[in-house]
A and B are shown apart, each in its own frame.
Chain A
């Protein structure tokens, strides 16, 4: 099985009409239930639910408090390489863009890793562009071995891999992965990815499932909101998360809600996803899946991050550089996108504490023996 046939069916379904048909009474009923079905989720995502945002916020924050307490997981990304063979029209690393390309050597990985660890960060997300010839699975394995000496948790946000490649990364200590589908609209996907390996819609769609099978502890998915119709993409994202959660109960399933940001390329998003739309999606997700991890990145502005924190967020990045080599002052490359929250780890932590939450740096004790690990 795969999520693909479900995705196909949902793409053909008249979702827009269903969103428009929802009434205020339907929303009231959905909010009165003790558990939320996919149909109820659709109801909460509809335009008719907008007047109920305050009631949704109350429910979402209560559920989050009971399930996760007043805690926020902290992580930081590390860009290992920005070589890319893809032509994603919305990305600054697109291979046609004239930017400085580089890839960290293992020695540089060690230096960057140490610089990040010195900020107190324990959960690291490593990223690369999509260039297997450069950032090969073997290179990634080596990087993970180096980084695991400094971080109890290392996860990946890289190109879609085969099953045995994920298996191997889990063996060297990778415990989570992020794989954005970008858009679940297959036709639009084809136009956004004109060339390169990422063009293979289904290979990417099935990658999170391969990660679950490989034994990743956390599998994080998401759509880049704004590429296509945000409501449809948000709905199918939730169905994808719910599918994975039911099929792989051992895996922590998480969703990110990235919105389009300015970058080196010229691409303009198809739709503007407003703050209120983002908040609606976040809260509907929480009510639909009480145990779902929800990540908010530094693409979002400081003030917005602060305000949405109690409404269902469980993970936040901080102290981010999206440039290769961006942590040890050697960076001469452009970042993948411009971040909106440039505060340091300390500053973000103070903000989290000021809002009555505890930043959690370590949430996993590695039980896989690692050579030379601290």
Chain B
């Protein structure tokens, strides 16, 4: 296959699987997870980063070649997200930022309005902004206007492992939005990641499903392969699906005669 890279914020990525750093029993497994998955982008919650730590720091476990995607987890409104993003940059985490604004701790659903506000401010400041939102066309359009570099719709609420529950809405975003669509949250199985890719998502982000597997490294490898398989299936243009078998003797066959 000829080169099929994903471009975000001017950066070409060969892997379409993004991974995370949260929820691991031991951060020391992260390098092996990165390697097995082939992922090149890794998200890290700034709230957990502790550069002065005497007990180890998650940043030390992230391989140098990875593109760091700090996230604003913990932010309850646009203002907090903007401040966290600036802190991340000041700490040397680069200028990519995943906006997460959550003001409902019961379901952890993202606040689209506040996310769009933060996106606009940070995009103007030169950040490459990847906002995490509900799979909603209007929010996605407002993010395009706000200068987002990609849109990250959720597949299902965080921590549910329920899979691609928002499939139809994600499909609309894939069709309508001219930015990379990265399905984030909810994906619990490699088959679900594959399905998202197969329908044309540009990438998926998987954290919980890998971090909480009994063997995170093997699961990371499985996700890496599933994402590739889904992408190839999408590029190969699968045949149309039929709901009924084609009739062997077509009802309009007589028209072709003569």
Binding site for B on A (CB under 8 A): 65-71, 118, 120, 122, 152, 217, 245-246, 249-253, 290-291, 349, 353, 356-365, 367, 374
List A contacts of B80 (CB < 8 A).
Answer: 367
Q: Contact: A69 with B106, CB < 8 Å? A: no
A361 touching B53, Cβ below 8 Å: yes
Other-chain residue from A65, A66, A249, A356 in contact with B104 (beta carbon distance below 8 A): A249
> Contacting B106 at CB < 8 Å: which of A249, A356, A358, A374?
A249
Chain A residues with CB under 8 Å of B22's CB are 69, 71
B172 close to A (CB within 8 Å): no
Whether the Cβ atoms of B25 and A251 lie closer than 8 Å is no
Q: Known: A66-B160, A69-B22, A358-B27. Is A251-B47 also a contact (CB below 8 A)? A: no
Question: How far, in Å, is A323 (CB) from chain B's closest CB?
Answer: 25
Q: Are B208 and A66 in contact (CB under 8 A)?
A: yes
B236 touches A (CB below 8 Å): no
Pick from B27, B87, B105: contact of A245, CB under 8 Å:
B105
14 contacts between A and B (CB under 8 A): A69-B22, A70-B25, A70-B212, A71-B23, A118-B54, A122-B53, A152-B50, A246-B106, A249-B104, A291-B108, A349-B55, A356-B25, A365-B47, A365-B49
Verify B105–A251 contact, CB threshold 8 A: yes
**Given that A66-B208, A69-B23, A69-B208 are contacting pairs, would A361 and B105 also be in contact in the complex, using a CB cutoff of 8 Å?**
no
Within 8 Å CB of A363, what residues of B? 47-48
Which A residues lie within 8 Å of B76 (CB)?
250
A251 CA to B106 CA, complexed, in Å: 9
Give the contacting residue for A122; candidates B50, B103, B208; CB below 8 A. B50
Residue of B nearest to A251 (CB): B105
B142 interfacial by beta-carbon distance below 8 Å = no
Q: Does chain A have a CB within 8 A of B46?
A: yes
Q: Please measure, in the bound complex, the distance between the C-alpha atom of A249 and the C-alpha atom of B102, giving whole angstroms.
A: 9
Contact at A362–B53, with CB atoms within 8 Å?
yes
**Known A66-B159, A249-B103, A365-B84; 12 more pairs at CB < 8 Å:** A69-B25, A70-B25, A70-B211, A71-B24, A250-B105, A349-B55, A358-B25, A358-B26, A358-B27, A363-B48, A365-B47, A365-B49
* Contacting residues of chain B (1-59) with chain A, CB-CB under 8 angstroms: 22-27, 46-50, 52-55
**Is the CB–CB distance between B87 and A66 below 8 Å?**
no
How far apart sit A360 and B46, CA to CA, in the bound complex (Å)? 13
Query: 0/1 per residue, B152-191, Cβ < 8 Å to A?
Result: 0000000111000000000000000000000000000000
Asked if A360 and B103 sit within 8 Å, CB to CB, the answer is no
| Chain A min CB distance to B247 (Å) | 42
**B87 vs chain A, min Cβ distance (A):** 6
Q: How far is the CA of A362 from the CA of B53 in the complex (A)?
A: 9
Given A66-B161, A291-B106: A374 and B26 interface contact (C-beta under 8 Å): no
B211 touches A69 (CB 8 A): yes
